[in-house]
Amino acid sequence: MSYLEYHAKSTPTGLRKILYLNWPLTLLLASVAGVGFLMLYSVAGGSFSPWAEPQFKRFLLGMCVMLVVAMVPIWFWRNISVLAYLMSIVLLLAVEFFGTIGMGAQRWIDLGFMRLQPSELMKITLVMLLAAYYDWLPAERSSRPIWVLVPVLMILFPTFLVLRQPDLGTSILLLAAGGGVMFLAGVHWGYFAAVIAAGVGLVTAVFQSRGTDWQLLKNYQYRRIDTFLDPSQDPLGAGYHITQSKIALGSGGWSGRGYMQGTQSRLNFLPEKHTDFIFTTLAEEFGFIGGFTLLSLYILIIVFCVATALAAKDRFSSLVTLGVAITFFLFFAVNMSMVMGLAPVVGVPLPLVSYGGSAMLVLLAAFGLVQSANIHRPR
Amino acid sequence: MKRNAKELEGAHRKLSRRALLLGGLQLGFAGGLAARMRYLQVDQADQFRLLAEENRINIRLLAPARGEIFDRNGQTLAHNSPSYRIIIVPEDAGDVGEVIAKLSRLITLDPEDVERALVEMRRSPPFLPITLADQLNWEDISKVAVNAPALPGITPEVGLTRIYPQLDDFAHVVGYVGPVSDYDLSKLDRPDPILRIPRFQIGKVGFEAKREDVLRGTAGAKRVEVNATGRVMRELDRKEGQAGADMQLTVDADLQNYVQARLGKESAAVVIVDCESGDLRALASAPSFDPNLFVRGISVADYRMLTDDPYRPLANKTVQGTYPPGSTFKMVTVMAALEDGLIGPEDTVYCPGHLEVSGRRFHCWKRAGHGHVDLNTSLKQSCDVYYYDLAIKVGIDKISAMANRLGLGMRHDLPMSAVASGLAPNREWKSRVRGQDWLVGDTVNASIGQGFILASPLQLAVMTARLATGRSIAPRLVKSIDGVEQPSGAGESLGLNENNLRMVRRGMYSVSNDRRGTGYRSRIIAEGMRMGGKSGTSQVRNITAAERAAGVIRNEDLPWDRRDHALYVCFAPFDNPKFAVSVIVEHGGGGSKAAAPIARDVMLQALYDGTPPLAAYPKGDRSRIKAQQERLERERLQRGGSQDSDQA
């Protein structure tokens, strides 16, 4: 069923839309953000500044953005997705030329009132574009090579731009989320199998080539991989982040050391304690119980998204909702794997908890799309 | 694009299927994360908790205050004074060069200190604190403290440093402390962790080193919480250390000061023993040095000057130096003969100026000879032939045994560095050590304190005290430890015949008070203060027959280090001995001329506990003595003045 076939009467209109908002999802998002405020307050040594307060303001702004996005009919978003995608590409290119250097990487454009990270925007517009593409493409064509190549290019182009910044974490996210949407849209599993097989082959080749004269990576890159695989090799250098992070997590135990009692974060042993490594503080202060609770909240958000997607009557709504869910999942899965020493340290924040404006606004806007799909579902 | 419903339905079902599959995968992954979290946080919690504590808690040792050292009247010989220093932890500093550059803009750093610190840094692990600057004033240290946030890895610290307010006077007795060296650590089996405290000072030489056990005290510790850069956030708890025990020595600082001044630039040593308790009232070795130089680490140039000096200022001549005692040994020979009953006071020996013993001619110091000599005259005029004759009759073994009874040839147990045991040889010793038979000529040489016999000034003073009292006086240096009085060295009776002792003492009285005595010129005339003494002149070279024929070269014509040692031992007051004194002036020439005046002066100073009245001196000496007293007083005042400015 396409949006053209909706009966205008069967979808809520006006202020009645608010009643159809997915309230449990909204509440879940707010509680996750609440955990974030709590932790930001703690890592600042029991202070609202410099992190908790701005984060709260951004969250309020983000909620407004979400509501606005939710109120706008989902078909509007479908119609402008190509435009949104192109705008994101333009912004990415702009960063390439006019961006500001921050944290050793070129990532944002200073708009005056806020710093815009086009790569964050890209995550959501890519999902929108792919959803719109598969909404438009007849299902029986979706596995044909030419129609597979088009979305692959849509994914690879921004990925390449983001990788150049360099931002490995976001590139992986774009790649995985894009691939996820393609998989959901019904592209033949053979393609995925081929890509995975090729990936495994490449990794094997990289390791096999080490020390030979056709070595694929530079020596320092191998050393990074070594450190990732066994951080104890270099506990004060490259492995420091992972080692300290694991210590913080481990020392939390079952129930944690108590709020604001985490020594690892309070004494600055943890790097990036307010951004990428904020989960370690949570785990140190609230223990396994705290960490598991947050993980459960995340999973519930995913469950609600999947439920919304399954209930949706059109492909765009389903795909965009699931795409947002995948992006969200990738955020916390990569971040948590990273702090638990299961994945290399790539710059991926803990969604809605880590300090950072762009990511929060973009994520809430994305959930606005999910809400919009829910509201504008014909009933 | 037109769609048929069936196709759409199929696509939707496929989407739902794949959505559920993907959702399931996500759930599975989340389960994996939860399992990992459980593994880290529950299964391995203890291990990580420990690591976190290790991260956070540092144990810092607290150096105890070293025990202070006082003289018998409570004057300070060694104390501790706060000293401010700057330490750097290279690991926390990051770029050490830059931090030091920043620091040197704040305060003036000694380039030598910085160089030494950099060398030390290369040798030690990066987390060990290293002293960058020492002995800073309060103003500099505050500047550093205020700017601490801009100086990572830099910590101002207050510590204690050792001060020796008596400067040169007690360098040999008290010794000195210094920073622990690698060599010190290598000597120890399991070094006390306290020694790893940067700039911790331990006794290196002398009393400070010998009684390190009591003086050091035990370390305290504090546990501090540190952050990732090693900066101390707060102190968790602290256990104070136990300060070292305070020590009181038997030495009298004023007397010691006088003696050192009196010795002046001579290479000499003086020991004053209390005849009642064995207390060492003064132990002076000249020339001396300022021990404070060693506390911080002496410069190479200064050290070279001390080691190259032919007068050996670093050696403690009072206990380390052993010399042939010369004629001061004659009391031992005569006591051995008297105790053996071989001679009486009236027995005489004819001295023609030499004695033939198994084909070798032994000379008396007086070429013309002393004629008929009895015991008293033999001591008074120090006739050598009398003792040659006596010794041949008594034999070396009895002489050696008597020497041991009187405190020679044995090590007195004193807490000082390298206390020498000297040598009072016998037949057994020579065959054991030299692998040769004892010859009668050896006995003849020994009888007048030449040949193999060696004694330290300390031993000679003890010998004199034992002769004066008849008791086995043992020297005592430590009066009390932490207020606990140490056992006296008064000793038991030696079991010597009192009549024999009296005869020897009378002989010593004649030496000092008889017009023909060798020590007459350095007598005391105050009644009740008169002393008994004995001069000694010990050869450091052999006089060949040819030289003797041509006329023995006078001391003044010899190079300094070939001249005779001058010795003098004495006790006073004669009727009720209070002090025994031994003096040696290295290469000073004749004992009666070089050593006896010093012995008399320090004896009087001890007897009067201060500057003696001129009336105690013979009339002819008074004007000279007055001038000398005034000169010494001036010198002491000057030194006292410079001492104050040193401390300021």
A205 in a domain, yes or no? Answer: no
Residue B127: pLDDT over 70: no
Average pLDDT along chain A:
86
Pair B240, B260 in one domain: no
Cβ atoms A334, A169 nearer than 8 A: yes
Confidence of residue A334 (pLDDT cuts 50, 70, 90): very high
Pair B197, B264 in one domain: no
- The predicted pLDDT at position B380 comes to 92
Q: How many residues does chain A have?
A: 379
- The predicted pLDDT at position B123 comes to 74
Flag the least confident range among A212-221, A227-236, B588-597.
A227-236
Pair B160, B148 in one domain: yes
Pair B236, B354 in one domain: no
> Which of A251, A277, A292, A342 to mutate: most B Cβ within 10 Å?
A251
- The predicted pLDDT at position B195 comes to 81
CA-angle at B634, arms to B628 and B637, nearest 5°: 140
CB contact under 8 A, A283 and B15: no
Pair B239, B258 in one domain: no
Flag the least confident range among A118-122, B82-86, B283-287, B334-338.
B82-86
Tokens of A378: 């014909």
B249, B264, B295 — which closes off a domain? B249
Among all residues of chain A, which has the CA nearest to that of B14?
A: A186
Phi then psi dihedrals of residue B200, to 5 deg: -70, 140
Pair B172, B261 in one domain: no
* Average pLDDT over every residue of B468-490: 92
Confidence of residue B565 (pLDDT cuts 50, 70, 90): very high
* Average pLDDT over every residue of B23-47: 91
Nearest to B595 by CA among B582, B611, B609: B582
Flag the least confident range among A30-39, A208-217, B144-153, B522-531.
A208-217
A contacts of B47 (beta carbons < 8 Å): 250
Confidence of residue B647 (pLDDT cuts 50, 70, 90): very low
* Rounded-to-integer distance, Cα B201 and Cα B320, Å: 25
A contacts of B8 (beta carbons < 8 Å): 1, 139
| d(CA B20, nearest CA chain A) in Å | 8
A216 in a domain, yes or no? Answer: no
- What DSSP line would sit under A341-373, residue for residue? TSS-----PPTTTSS-HHHHHHHHHHHHHHHHH
CB contact under 8 A, A299 and B27: yes
CB contact under 8 A, A251 and B52: yes
* Average pLDDT over every residue of B593-616: 93
B47 in a domain, yes or no? Answer: no
Looking at chain A, the whole-number percentage of residues with pLDDT higher than 90 is: 48
Give the closest of A183, A254, A342 to B36, CB-based: A342
B50 in a domain, yes or no? Answer: no
The enclosing domain of B304 has a CATH number of: 3.40.710.10
* Average pLDDT over every residue of B399-426: 92
A64 in a domain, yes or no? Answer: yes
Pair B93, B62 in one domain: yes
| d(CA B89, nearest CA chain A) in Å | 16
Q: How many residues does chain B have?
A: 648
Pair B231, B380 in one domain: no
- State the total domains in chain A: 1
Confidence of residue B1 (pLDDT cuts 50, 70, 90): very low
Pair B429, B536 in one domain: yes
* Average pLDDT over every residue of B225-248: 79
Tokens of B231: 């900066």
* Rounded-to-integer distance, Cα B159 and Cα B278, Å: 38
| Boundaries of domain holding B535 | 253-606+622-643
Cβ atoms B171, B283 nearer than 8 A: no
Alpha-carbon Rg for chain B, nearest whole angstrom, is 37
- The predicted pLDDT at position B231 comes to 65
- The predicted pLDDT at position B645 comes to 39
Residue B116: pLDDT over 90: no
B255-276, pLDDT tens digit by residue?
A: 999 999 999 888 999 999 999 9
User: DSSP class of residue B111?
Assistant: H
Looking at chain B, the whole-number percentage of residues with pLDDT higher than 70 is: 96
Confidence of residue A101 (pLDDT cuts 50, 70, 90): low
B contacts of A338 (beta carbons < 8 Å): none
* Rounded-to-integer distance, Cα A85 and Cα B455, Å: 105
A371 in a domain, yes or no? Answer: yes
Report CA torsion sign: B604, B609, B610, B615.
Answer: negative
Residue B189: pLDDT over 80: no
Give the closest of A184, A249, A303 to B40, CB-based: A249
* Rounded-to-integer distance, Cα B390 and Cα B370, Å: 15
Pair B314, B424 in one domain: yes
ipTM for the whole complex: 0.90
CB contact under 8 A, B42 and A288: yes
Phi then psi dihedrals of residue A107, to 5 deg: -130, -25
CA-angle at B148, arms to B142 and B151, nearest 5°: 125
* Average pLDDT over every residue of A247-262: 84
Give the closest of A252, A264, A310 to B55, CB-based: A264
* Average pLDDT over every residue of A80-105: 79
B485 in a domain, yes or no? Answer: yes
Flag the least confident range among A36-45, A49-58, A298-307, B228-237.
B228-237
Task: Assess A94–B contact: CB distance below 8 Å, yes or no.
Answer: no
CB contact under 8 A, A254 and B226: no
More confident residue, A264 or A68: A68
Confidence of residue B54 (pLDDT cuts 50, 70, 90): confident
Pair B366, B318 in one domain: yes
- To the query of whether residue B327 is one of the catalytic residues in this protein, the response is yes
Phi then psi dihedrals of residue B444, to 5 deg: -60, -45
Q: How far is CA B411 from the centre of its chain?
A: 16
- The predicted pLDDT at position B646 comes to 40
Give start and end residues of each alpha helix (H) in chain A: 23-43, 52-71, 74-98, 118-136, 145-163, 168-184, 189-208, 219-229, 240-252, 263-266, 278-311, 315-339, 357-375
User: DSSP class of residue B323?
Assistant: B
* Rounded-to-integer distance, Cα B351 and Cα B590, Å: 21
| Boundaries of domain holding A248 | 3-187+231-375
Residue A175: pLDDT over 90: yes
Instruction: Give the three-state DSSP class for B564.
Output: coil
* Average pLDDT over every residue of B547-551: 76
Residue B542: pLDDT over 50: yes
- The predicted pLDDT at position A165 comes to 78
Among all residues of chain B, which has the CA nearest to that of A247?
A: B48
- The predicted pLDDT at position A236 comes to 58
B385-395, pLDDT tens digit by residue?
A: 999 999 999 99
Cβ atoms A55, A274 nearer than 8 A: no
Task: Assess A242–B contact: CB distance below 8 Å, yes or no.
Answer: no
* Rounded-to-integer distance, Cα B161 and Cα B65, Å: 9
B contacts of A337 (beta carbons < 8 Å): 33
Report CA torsion sign: B304, B309, B313, B317.
Answer: positive
B249, B279, B308 — which closes off a domain? B249
- What DSSP line would sit under A24-74, residue for residue? HHHHHHHHHHHHHHHHHHHHTTS-STTTHHHHHHHHHHHHHHHHHHHHS-H
Pair B282, B207 in one domain: no
CB contact under 8 A, A291 and B37: yes
- The predicted pLDDT at position A306 comes to 93
B44 in a domain, yes or no? Answer: no
Neighbours of B492 (CB within 10 A): 7
Residues of B with CB under 8 A from a CB of A: 1, 3, 7-8, 10-12, 14-16, 18-20, 22-23, 26-27, 29-30, 33-34, 36-38, 40-42, 44-45, 47-49, 51-53, 55-56, 225-229, 233
Cβ atoms A264, B64 nearer than 8 A: no
Confidence of residue B490 (pLDDT cuts 50, 70, 90): confident
Whole-angstrom CA distances from A276 to A331, A337, A359, B26 are: 11, 11, 12, 21
Residue A103: pLDDT over 70: no
* Average pLDDT over every residue of B587-609: 92
Of the candidates B83, B327, B378, B522, the residue annotated as catalytic is B327
User: DSSP class of residue A106?
Assistant: E
Flag the least confident range among A13-17, B345-349, B507-511.
A13-17
Range with the largest mean pLDDT of B12-21, B101-110, B498-507, B585-594: B498-507
Q: Which pairing describes strands B247-249 and B69-70: parallel, antiparallel, or unpaired?
A: parallel
Average pLDDT along chain B:
88
B208, B224, B249 — which closes off a domain? B249
- State the total domains in chain B: 2
B166 in a domain, yes or no? Answer: yes
Phi then psi dihedrals of residue B179, to 5 deg: -65, 145
Range with the largest mean pLDDT of A138-147, A250-259, B463-472: B463-472
* Average pLDDT over every residue of B121-129: 72
B133-155, pLDDT tens digit by residue?
A: 877 878 888 888 888 888 888 88
Cβ atoms B502, B345 nearer than 8 A: no
Confidence of residue A3 (pLDDT cuts 50, 70, 90): low
